[in-house]
Amino acid sequence: MMGSLRGRLFVGLTAIILLTGAVGGLLAYRWAYSEAIEMQDSVLIQIGSFVLSAPIRQSRPVTGVDAEAEVAVVELGEAPRGSADDRRLWGLKDGLHNDVYHGQPVRLLLRTRPDGSRFAVTQQTEIRTEIAGDMAVRTLLPIAALVPCLLLMTAFVIARSFRPMLRLAGDLDARKVDDVGALPATGAPSELQPFLGSINGLLERVRVMMDQQRRFIADAAHELRTPVTALSLQAENLASLDMPAETRDRLDALKSGMRRTKHLLEQLLALARQDAAPSIATVAVELDKIAKGVVADLLPEAAARNIDLGFTTVEAVAVNGDELSLISAVRNLVENAIKFTPNGGAVDLAVAREDGMAVIQIQDTGPGIPPQDLARIGEPFFRGGQPSGEGAGLGLSIVKRIVDHAAGSVLFENVTGAGRSGLRVTLRLPASTDEA
Ligand SMILES: Nc1ncnc2c1ncn2[C@@H]1O[C@H](COP(=O)(O)OP(=O)(O)OP(=O)(O)O)[C@@H](O)[C@H]1O
Ligand SMILES: [Mg+2]
């Protein structure tokens, strides 16, 4: 609790409020108490004045002041007489006194009439303090009601003041891993500005570093492509010569190694291209045509493995995007479907328009992706917990980036049942409005 600024503020302010309330309450109580005592004295003096001019002379309780006030008039006569208490009272001077009468502590007012007779107006001290206490407690009520209200308001104000900070943390948390754009500084409280400045500085440095790294990968892949292509050509040339069967086997192994390396470089370059230049798409591209083109390209590959590659539905729908990138995305997905589907299986495509989105669905009859791998799909070089087949492990990273840049989404689901199972990939892209 004390580790948090909010907690510290709340504890501190609570202590201040409680202390102020306690001191204020104590002072108010004492002031009201002495005020009430004085008021009761003045009541005694008033009653004294009445009795002084009244014709009746007889000890009696005074009624009509306050039923519980227990004020009494005691006639003492012109000379000391009666009980020991009466005699002692007679001996006191005119005025207010604290004394004991009939065994009870009392407050009393002594007065002498012009004819020399004396009387006392008495009130039990216990009753007086009780009345004064009651009145003083009543002055505490507003303070007692105010303190909880203040505490509530403090908690509310503190929570509100810290909201921008929590919002900032939420913004940072919600970011995609590769989002290194600056945090907006407008609207944030001035205390957060230096903090924001530092974070944005850090983000900028990270962005520069990421850019350098991407450029390095792109440059390296590009530089490697030329020698690898040359090597492949040399291998092809070599293959046209006569050679023993054993040598030819080794040459074939060499050639497929070269092919894999070339594929890796192609994929690396495609990925680097997506990272470097997020295509500022303004051209409407027909997604159904792209899909048909990709399928036509891959038909021989599918046929060679006896895989039934085709469409279940095709609707004409266009998206705003970079044509080459979109071809690359669809191609990577269909290639995966063919690659991971066993011989004799099927790969079905569907292109449709749904609520302003262009949707392309690719479903195969392969093993699907194990649930524990689904979360990591799209990480560069991730090929699943048990990699199978050939591949660089970059295809889905490329797809994800293309989809991100096009403000679309891609969903991987394992479908089972209805006599077939496999992976279903759903690609959604905002449909273009200026359609033919
Ligand atoms: N249709 C599919 N069925 C089953 N598993 C798949 C399917 N598509 C992708 N995967 C799994 O996801 C992994 C990543 O796919 P990705 O396309 O990124 O890499 P790759 O195909 O292995 O290599 P590359 O595409 O770069 O040549 C694959 O290795 C495979 O394990
Ligand atoms: Mg792939």
Mutate to test the pocket of ligand 1, among 383, 416, 426 (most ligand atoms within 8 A of CB): 383
Amino acid at 171: D
340 CA from centroid of ligand 1 (Å): 8
What would the DSSP string read from start to end of 293-336? HHHHHHHHHHHHTT-EEEEEEE---EEES-HHHHHHHHHHHHHH
Closest ligand to residue 378's CA: 1
Is any atom of ligand 1 closer than 6 Å to the C-beta of 394?
yes
d(CA 384, CA 391): 11
332 CA from centroid of ligand 2 (Å): 5
Q: Sign of dihedral through CA atoms 216, 221, 222, 223?
A: positive
Residues linked to residue 352 through DSSP beta bridges, in sequence order? 359
Residues linked to residue 357 through DSSP beta bridges, in sequence order? 354, 430
d(CA 285, CA 434): 10
| Residue stretches of the chain with pLDDT short of 70 | 1-2, 63-67, 277-282, 434-436
pLDDT at 64: 59
Closest ligand to residue 401's CA: 1
Tokens of 424: 């279903």
Is any atom of ligand 1 closer than 6 Å to the C-beta of 378?
no
Under 8 Å between Cβ of 377 and 400: no
pLDDT at 305: 95
Is any atom of ligand 1 closer than 6 Å to the C-beta of 345?
no
Pairing of strands 308-314, 346-354: parallel
20 CA from centroid of ligand 2 (Å): 71
Is any atom of ligand 1 closer than 6 Å to the C-beta of 337?
yes
**Strand arrangement of the beta sheet that strand 346-354 belongs to:** 308-314, 346-354, 357-364, 422-430, 409-415
427 CA from centroid of ligand 1 (Å): 16
230 CA from centroid of ligand 1 (Å): 28
117 phi and psi, to 5 degrees? -75, 150
Under 8 Å between Cβ of 419 and 291: no
Is any atom of ligand 1 closer than 6 Å to the C-beta of 383?
yes
Residue of the nearest CA to atom 8 in ligand 1? 336
331 CA from centroid of ligand 2 (Å): 9
Whole-angstrom CA distances from 377 to 186, 319, 358, 362, 411 are 37, 25, 23, 16, 10
27 Cβ contact list (under 8 Å, min separation 6): none
275 CA from centroid of ligand 1 (Å): 20
157 CA from centroid of ligand 1 (Å): 53
Residue of the nearest CA to atom 19 in ligand 1? 393
Closest CA to 388 of 369, 415, 410: 369
185 CA from centroid of ligand 2 (Å): 41
Is any atom of ligand 1 closer than 6 Å to the C-beta of 366?
yes
336 CA from centroid of ligand 1 (Å): 5
Amino acid at 134: D
Closest ligand to residue 367's CA: 1
Is any atom of ligand 1 closer than 6 Å to the C-beta of 338?
no
Is any atom of ligand 1 closer than 6 Å to the C-beta of 367?
yes
Is any atom of ligand 1 closer than 6 Å to the C-beta of 396?
yes
Is any atom of ligand 1 closer than 6 Å to the C-beta of 393?
yes
Closest ligand to residue 400's CA: 1
pTM of the model: 0.64
Closest ligand to residue 380's CA: 1
Is any atom of ligand 1 closer than 6 Å to the C-beta of 265?
no
pLDDT in tens, 322-377: 899 999 999 999 999 999 999 999 999 999 999 999 999 999 999 999 999 999 99
Is any atom of ligand 1 closer than 6 Å to the C-beta of 70?
no
Amino acid at 336: N
pLDDT at 436: 45
CATH class of 190-274: mainly alpha
395 CA from centroid of ligand 1 (Å): 7
What is the homologous superfamily of the domain 280-430 according to CATH? Histidine kinase-like ATPase, C-terminal domain (3.30.565.10)
Domain coordinates in residue numbering, the chain: 5-159, 190-274, 280-430
What is the rounded radius of gyration, in angstroms, for the C-alpha atoms of the chain?
48
Counts of helices then strands in the chain (DSSP H, E) = 10, 12
Residue of the nearest CA to atom 3 in ligand 1? 368
Closest ligand to residue 383's CA: 1
